[in-house]
Chain A
Amino acid sequence: MPPDVDVVREILFPVVDEASKSIPSAASLEKSLDGPLFGDNGLDSLGLVRFIVMVEDRIEDLTGTRLSLASDRALSRRTSPFKNLQTLADFIQECLADHDSARADSAAEPSTG
């Protein structure tokens, strides 16, 4: 991931702005790190799906990396990454770091060709 990408301000907040215009249940979503993302005062289930797609597209646009945020890893957590924007930002950072690490390991493997 480019080191200067701010996950909250460059990925999540713009998606909240976009979502509030196109997803009905996102109308009351605020650019607040600890406000609920899902459920009461947050997105409904269909809205969350669309929101996650938007976030993944935004990540791909800015970093060139395609993540699948709704992975088994995310869904098995005691605290859902989709609880609020802060937990989501932390999870995205973690996934991007793992992705970079995996790519570095892959590049470091000796060629067998």
Chain B
Amino acid sequence: MTGTRTGLGRFIAEHYLAQGHFVVGCSRGESDLQSNRYKHFTADVGDERAVLPIFAYLRREHGGVDNLINNAGIASMNMAMLTPLSTFDTIFSTNVKGTFLFCREAARLMQKKGAGRIVNLTSVAAPLMLEGEAIYAASKAAVLSLTHVLARELAPFGITVNCVGPTPVATDLIRGVPKDKIDALVARQAIHRLGVPQDVVNVIDFFLRPESSFITAQSIYLGGVV
């Protein structure tokens, strides 16, 4: 699982630890998550040289991986005309390249067992086409496309690939977004409230269930966004 140090990722990691899973997580910084079933790697998810050792560890120590949750993501709010190109590179590196890299490496391990679950996090920013979030929304639309193509490509190997698109959740990711922007976004949802981490976990749980082996290439947006 990626992006486990803080916020939503931390909540998801703790949820699966509580369920008895062994969780291998990563983030740019060190984690203070304490569990004898948690292993943390400090890695930039868009850096192949930092990511490959994580999967070498999984192959060597665990014989593979059952589930992958691509949670790591960064956002930036700015008008396109004022956005430096470096912002584009940074967001796409984490949100798109990182997601692809982890999908590729996880699939290489999962195909050996003929089974696996991949859940990518997209965002309602993509279908809502939020002004001021052109790059972030485009990156999450790319994650959606990636999810759908990989679902078809990996289905013969018994691997499902789905994504969940949260509404704004009160985490660090939206801390810098003005309240009126968040309120306007929430108003466009069918259910007018901020999301909570449990809303996201509920969907991930559904995708990871053994009974969900026939569910792939699906994207579930929370809050009634279509």
Hey, which bits of chain A sit against chain B, CB under 8 A? 22, 46, 49-50, 53, 57, 60, 66
Q: Is the interface of B mostly helix, strand, loop or mixed?
A: helix
Name B115-164 residues within 8 Å CB distance of A. Answer: 156-157
Q: Which residues on the A side are within 8 Å of B56 (C-beta)?
A: 60
**B108 cross-chain contacts in A, Cβ below 8 A:** 53, 57
Q: Is there contact, CB below 8 Å, between B111 and A50?
A: yes
* Residues A57 and B59 in contact, CB atoms below 8 Å apart: yes
- The reply to whether B59 and A53 contact each other, CB–CB distance below 8 Å, is no
Q: Which residues of B contact A57 (CB under 8 A)?
A: 59, 108
Chain B hits for A66, CB < 8 A: 52
Binding site for A on B (CB under 8 A): 52, 56, 59, 108, 111-112, 156-157
A53 contacts across to B, CB distance below 8 A: 108, 111
**Besides the known contacts A49-B111, A53-B108, A53-B111, 9 further A-B residue pairs in the complex with CB atoms under 8 A apart:** A22-B112, A46-B156, A46-B157, A50-B111, A50-B157, A57-B59, A57-B108, A60-B56, A66-B52
* Closest CB in chain A relative to B204 CB, distance in Å: 26
Q: How far is the CB of A86 from chain B (nearest CB, A)?
A: 25
- Give the complex CA separation of A50 and B112 in angstroms: 8
A14 CB, min distance to chain B CBs, angstroms: 15
Q: How far is the CB of A62 from chain B (nearest CB, A)?
A: 14
| Closest-CB distance, A83 to chain B (whole angstroms) | 23
A8 to B111, CA, bound (A): 24
Please measure, in the bound complex, the distance between the C-alpha atom of A91 and the C-alpha atom of B221, giving whole angstroms.
Answer: 46
